[in-house]
Structure 1
Amino acid sequence: QAAQTLEAESGYQLESPAVSRFRECVLSGNWTEVEQLTSQLNLDVNHGIASVKFLIREQKFLELLEAQQIKSALVVLRSELTPLNQNMDRVHALTSYMMISSPEDLRQRAGWDGVEGQSRQKLLTSLQKLISPSMMVPENRLENMLQQAVELQVNNCLYHDIRDETRSLYSDHVCDKTGIPSITRKVLEEHTNEVWYVSFSHDGRFLASASADSRIIIWNVQTETLLKSFQKHSETINCLAWLPEGDRFVSGCEKKMLLMNAQGDVRYTWPFPVRDVAVSPDGRTLIAMGGTIIRIISLDDMSELNKLEESHSITAISLSRDGRYLLANTTAKPAHPPQQREIHLWNLEEGRIERRYVGHKQGRYIIRSCFGGWGDRFVISGSEDSTIYIWHRDNGNLVQTLEGHTRPVTCVAWSPIHPTMLVSASDDNTIRM
């Protein structure tokens, strides 16, 4: 009624009379007129018409069965549904419903709530998906448009990092910088040489760090204290990655890769060089990168599932928490200056580079990046100019730079549970929280 009043007062007709009548007939069960009106909906001759008619006749058939009009239902099945040659598996299922004696059993078996339920409204929703939006306005279109407008504002918000919030249509969405890590709360100085890697456990309780002093240190994040220090590699350690259960991790160097528990016990050894590692969100697959070789390893039986070879060297990789995106720090050609180095955001589902991030400095050293914030909204990287760079993942804009280290920042890690906690490792032998 409100829509009709709005149409009358504005003089603008949202839908043609035929479409409005089609909607009314579906909801009232006037199947004869519904089928007559399908010719005015500009449906695709090869697929659209047959699909629409199948859904209409299926509803008609089920309603006749529910009303115990078995002979009429059989006529619809044989003379109207079967000749369409659509979804024959469903036709066979409908045929089996002929043997059901009670309406209650029919509704339960068919997963259908009957004439007195919402079946006709559900049918209309299904039909709308097959009809051009220019002919028939999709259900909840205004609500969807408003939601899209709000989501667009959030996606364009440079500093957005709020997990759940109430959003208003009365004003534009804007966040300030208070959610971006910017103040050093602790400097960890236990390593005696350059710190090359930091990695949070998946529950955020522990932080592992690896250094050119060949040591791995496990830190208690809450108390910001050293829990355990051990030395299982004879060479400098290039990388670390925790497994999702939180009590095992892998570490790699120039000669081998180790699987260890949090107590430092070695559980498995792979005899090949590794520059960086990443673990899939389900904890079943390990991605190990060394030079131009990328190895895909099963953590169920430690077997190598695949081995890929790149034409250009990748210095570091990082997986998003949902496993959909991969960050790759790349090396430029020798003629290119350090300021032209890029971080590539790979969409793994589509197999393409979705965005490039620039501004950080990378020439002589291996610099690593990571995702951060709720929904991995930010991309963070170290840099040879002793600075941390934070970009908005979706638009590539630089959000913030952080200073404090006195030598190149080689690795960064954002806490998976504390939305404003960032950790950085540096060649100045320190870790900053």
Structure 2
Amino acid sequence: MQETGCSLEHPSATKFRNHVTEGDWEKAEADLTELKSLVHLPQAIVRMKFLLLEQKYLEFLDDGKVLEALQVLRFELTPLKYNTDRIHALSGYLMCSDAEDLRAKAEWEGKGSLSRTKLLDKLHTYLPPSVMLPPRRLQTLLRQAVELQRDRCLYHNTKADTNLDSVSLLMDHACSRRQFPCYTRQILTEHCNEVWFCKFSNDSTKLATGSKDNAVIIWQVDPETHQLKLLKTLEGHTYGVSYLVWSPDDTYLIACGPDDCSELWLWHVQTGELRTKMSQSHEDSLTCAAWNPDGKRFVTGGQRGQFYQCDLDGNVLDSWEGVRVQCLWCLNDGKTILASDTHQRIRGYNFEELTDRNIQNDKPLDEGGQEGDNHREWLTHGQWIKAFRQLTDTVQVPVL
């Protein structure tokens, strides 16, 4: 601010910040008078003064100045006639045996910069950003600048890291063309027909590929060169393999077929043995699957309206009728399954309670698809978005 001459906050707010940081409470209270005309809420000044006096009171107790603290409580805090319950709690701190006891009971950091910084964060909520700079505003602007540069980077293909410690602010972000996969490193020709699906294992040490030639090939990934070497071939799929999903511990691999496939194959990866071949009806279409986080159950479905929850032996534990499934994902709560369907929507299904929810409008629905009463708390909005991103974390290619 001194170098550029740009005033980013009101001078009275700057004085107020400095006086709070220094613990000069008399001058900080005087600054509130200057800020009164800049605050929109009528009661804001009273609330801010209460917070200042509360800090002043606690710091007197922290220093062992009980009489001074009592004076603040009786003649400054109480006359404000604000937050009586909090005043009663503050009066109880007079009985604390020492500073450590005070900090524990008040859940307070003690006299110093840490507690005063937290006080400023609370005080800022009553002041417009145009009057006082929001907390850590510079850090926020720098992080936004880094994110914008990464979004505009033509060859950036790694997960964005918002931690400023991992980047340099001395130069603009720019990825080299060498970091982008522009050249063919290896061509795999072991399949005899179109390759419909490929999926890396969770530990990234193996790659599974499914093909129209009715085979699944497991490839070993060299950790140094990243070259792939054929590990084993799993054969016998009647309809071809168009979808693959690894179990959470990479022990098992589920293989599904195209729309006319009514079978699901569950392979033991290490031994290459077929653990389960599931087929409920020849009219079914089992084209996708997802593992429960416990690795002992999975869900599968297709566009003909089948939607099953099964165990490792292929026994159907639960089913949901009339859901034309295109893709599935199990959330970490072990109960909720997200399913994208042919109606251009993503819904969350709970097999235990037989409830479902459309995550676009976040309203509970009963079994008949009508809005009804929800029987328990569902996941937060942020978790839905994260799960939606995981739902799309598959790679489907026509030719490998």
TM over 0.5: yes
Give the CA deviation at 1:127.
2.4
Identity of aligned residues (%): 33
1:2-401 aligned at under 5 Å gives the runs: 7=2, 10-41=4-35, 42-116=38-112, 118-157=114-153, 160-163=156-159, 166-169=166-169, 170-174=171-175, 176=177, 178=180, 185=188, 186-188=209-211, 189-190=214-215, 191-193=237-239, 195=241, 197-203=243-249, 206-211=252-257, 212-219=260-267, 227-228=274-275, 230-234=277-281, 235-238=283-286, 239-252=288-301, 254=304, 256-262=306-312, 264-270=313-319, 272-276=321-325, 277-287=328-338, 297-299=349-351, 301=352, 303-304=354-355, 306-307=365-366, 309=369, 322-324=383-385, 370-372=391-393
Note if contact 1:199-1:209 (Cα within 8 Å) is conserved in structure 2. yes
Q: Which stretches in structure 1 are left out of the alignment for 5+ residues?
A: 311-319, 328-344, 346-368, 373-413, 415-421, 427-431
CA distance change for structure 1 residues 167 and 222 in 2, over 3 Å: closer, same or farther?
farther
1:274 Cα deviation (Å)? Answer: 3.2
Q: Distance in 1 between matches of 2:92 and 2:72?
A: 14
CA–CA separation in structure 2 for the residues paired with 1:11 and 1:291: 59
Q: Quote the offset at 1:38 in angstroms.
A: 1.1
Q: In 2, distance between residues paired with 1:248 and 1:161? A: 34
Q: Give the secondary structure class of the aligned counterpart of 1:324.
A: helix
- In the TM superposition, what is the alpha-carbon distance from 1:139 to its structure 2 partner? 3.9
Kindly provide the amino acid, as one letter, of the partner of residue 51 in structure 1.
Answer: R
Paired residue secondary structure (2:384): coil
1:171 and 1:303 map into 2 onto residues whose CA distance is 52
> In structure 2, what is the Cα distance between the partners aligned to 1:321 and 1:139?
23
- Distance in 1, matches of 2:252 and 2:116, equals 55
Contact in 1 for aligned 2:285/2:306 (Cα 8 Å): no
CA distance in 1, matches of 2:50, 2:280: 67
Structure 2: distance between partners of 1:222 and 1:199 = 15
CA distance in 2 between counterparts of 1:296 and 1:12 reads 51
Contact 1:65 1:73 in 2 (8 A): yes
In structure 2, runs of 5+ residues without a counterpart are 189-208, 216-236, 357-364, 371-380
Query: CA-to-partner distance for each residue in 1:130-175, whole Å, 9 max, x for gaps?
Result: 3223222334332321111002222444654424763233123336
- Structure 2 vs 1, CA of residues 269 and 108 (structure 1 numbering), >3 Å: closer, same or farther? closer
C-alpha distance after superposition, 1:231-261 (max 9, x if no partner) = 3321333342221222321123547543223
Q: 1:105 to 1:321 in 2, by over 3 A?
A: closer
1:196 Cα offset (Å): 5.4
TM-score normalised by structure 1 residue count: 0.61
The 8 Å contact of residues 307 and 319 in structure 2, kept in 1 or not, is answered as yes
In structure 1, C-alpha distance between the alignment counterparts of 2:74 and 2:84, rounded to whole Å: 12
Q: Structure 1 96/267 Cα, relative in aligned 2: closer, same or farther at 3 Å?
A: farther
Measure, in 1, the Cα distance between the counterparts of 2:264 and 2:89. 61
RMSD in angstroms over aligned alpha carbons? Answer: 4.0
> Paired residues, what number?
322
Task: Identify if the C-alpha distance between structure 1 residues 163 and 207 changes in structure 2 by more than 3 Å, giving closer, same or farther.
Answer: farther
Matches of 1:203 and 1:102, distance apart in 2: 52
Question: What CA distance in whole angstroms lies between the structure 2 residues aligned with 1:104 and 1:325?
Answer: 41
Deviation at residue 266 of structure 1 after TM alignment: 0.7
Are the equivalent residues in 1 in contact too, given 2:210–2:242 (CA < 8 A)? no
Distance 1:178 1:227 in 2: 38
Match of 2:230 in 1: none
> How far apart are 1:62 and its partner, in Å?
0.7
User: TM (normalized to structure 2)?
Assistant: 0.65
With over 3 angstroms needed to count, the CA separation of the structure-2 counterparts of 1:100 and 1:187, relative to structure 1, is: closer
Distance of aligned partners of 1:236 and 1:45 in 2 relative to their CA distance in 1, 3 Å threshold: closer
**Match for 2:278: what amino acid?**
Q
In the alignment, is the contact (CA less than 8 A) between 1:215 and 1:229 conserved in 2?
no
Alignment partner, residue 359 of structure 2: none
Q: Secondary structure at the match of 2:290?
A: strand
Aligned equivalents of 2:29, 2:278: Cα separation in 1 = 77
Tell me by how many angstroms 1:208 deviates: 1.9
Q: 1:294 to 1:370 in 2, by over 3 A?
A: closer
CA distance in 2, matches of 1:423, 1:290: 18
Conservation of the 8 A alpha-carbon contact between 1:273 and 1:290: no
Alignment deviations for residues 411-431 of structure 1 (CA, whole Å, 9 cap, x no partner): xxx2xxxxxxx355x7xxxxx
Structure with bigger RCO (C-alpha 8 Å, 6+ apart): 1
> Residue 32 of structure 2 aligns to which amino acid in structure 1?
T
Instruction: Please list the CA deviations of residues 278-323 of structure 1 after superposition, one character each: whole Å capped at 9, or x if unmatched.
Output: 4333221134677769875434x3534543749xxxxxxxxx9943
Q: What secondary structure is seen at the aligned counterpart in 1 of 2:392? A: strand
Distance change >3 Å, CA 10–CA 288, structure 1 → 2: closer
1:265 partner amino acid: G
